[in-house]
Amino acid sequence: MRHVRTRVKSPGQNGSRERGFGSLKYERLYREEIHDALELTCHAEEYRLEYNTVRPHEAIAWNRPRDVHLGHASPDTPNFAGPAILPTT
């Protein structure tokens, strides 16, 4: 990872990061009682793994960020299976 700074007085650059932290808080951290920093770190890491490898994202055509990053999926083309058509007999 690399630390990236945003320009002064330009909140638009920081919006997606802030939204990510908001999702982490409301979807994982506020739902459970966390007693210490080690437990907090464990919950945050589990959420990061789920967010990047399990959850599809609308902004990248319902693909998973890890798949797009590794080149297994295109950020412009959905990579999910279509509806199954079952035989009628």
Indicate whether 75 pLDDT > 80: yes
Q: Which tokens belong to 3?
A: 């630390």
Please indicate, yes or no, if residue 84 is contained in any of the structural domains.
no
- Tokens 């990053």, located at residue: 69
Indicate whether 17 pLDDT > 80: no
Please give the tally of structural domains in the chain. 1
Please indicate, yes or no, if residue 60 is contained in any of the structural domains.
yes
Query: Which pTM value belongs to this model?
Result: 0.68
Please indicate, yes or no, if residue 63 is contained in any of the structural domains.
yes
| Cα gap 21→54, rounded to integer Å | 18
| Cα gap 59→27, rounded to integer Å | 19
Mean pLDDT of 7-15: 75
Indicate whether 1 pLDDT > 70: no
Indicate whether 50 pLDDT > 90: yes
CA-to-CA dists, residue 50 to 28, 59, 70, 87, 89, angstroms: 11, 17, 16, 35, 40
Is residue 59 very low, low, confident or very high in pLDDT (cuts 50, 70, 90)?
confident
Expressed as residue numbers, the domain containing 67 is 35-74
